[in-house]
Amino acid sequence: MVDKNKVKKLALRLGVDLVGFGPARKMDAAPAGHRATDFLPDAETIISAAIRINYSAVEGLPKTRREYVNANDGARTILNEALVRVSGYLEEQGYSAIPFLQGTDRELMMGDLSLKHAAVVAGIGEFGLNNLVLTPQFGPRVLLGAVVTSAPIKPDPPLKIQLCDRCGACLKACPTGALKDPKGYNREKGWTIDKHRCFHYIYEVLEPRYGHYSCGLCIKACPVGKNRSHKLAQKTP
């Protein structure tokens, strides 16, 4: 049996900020083809990990767009290395383990595994109206990754507190109208946004002008986790 605390401590020591454990077979809300068992049929556990992104760079958007992307790239490197190390540790214990790193299909704007649904199943957060995962600690100001493993590990409970109060700040901040009509929103399942509008703005407007770029305005607008993130930013040397 894998020591859950040992896995969690390893991930935290490697630079991850949040770690959660969830049952691999409870990803029914994720699109078909993007669930844990689609990649590892004998999967038992999803280990979801999150690393906070630089609060000050988010708050400076859109002027700090270059710094925002560069800071995310640095955080992504730390997160991805931690996921690889954790999966390696689980393999050493005799279990199958696949790391799902930060990175998306440009057309689908989704990773192979739905990292957002994995985070919700593992109790890290809930879907917000911006269709991002909101965490109690940092709101949507996180990057997500996961490890899918055959190791049976006791799951964490789903997040009980409701974070998103549907204030609509993210809808107003979106420059594309992708979040225009949030019908069918569900805190455990998310909802269908207009990804074509997001794709057009990021890859056809921002990227040709600036290079590898992202938007982030709906993240900046979200009030969830702002106080905690701001306090951490003040403490960071």
133, 119 Cβ separation under 8 angstroms = yes
Instruction: Say how many C-beta atoms besides its own lie within 10 A of residue 5's C-beta.
Output: 8
CA 58-167-144 angle, 5° bins: 45
**Residue 136: C-alpha distances to residues 4, 124, 131, 159 (Å):** 22, 8, 16, 9
Indicate the pTM of the whole model: 0.90
Distance in angstroms (rounded) separating the CA atoms of residues 187 and 119:
12
155, 23 Cβ separation under 8 angstroms = yes
Q: Which helix (H) or strand (E) holds 52?
A: strand 45-52
Radius of gyration of the chain (CA): 17
pLDDT at 234: 56
pLDDT at 90: 99
Distance in angstroms (rounded) separating the CA atoms of residues 152 and 93:
12
The ranges assigned to domains in the chain are: 4-235
pLDDT at 237: 45
CA 76-217-46 angle, 5° bins: 40
**185-213 residues labelled b (16+ CB within 10 A) or e (exposed):** bebebbeebeeebbbebbeeebeeeeeeb
pLDDT < 70 stretches in the chain: 103-110, 181-182, 210-212, 228-237
pLDDT at 133: 96
Token couple for 183: 């019908």
pLDDT at 71: 94
Distance in angstroms (rounded) separating the CA atoms of residues 91 and 54:
32
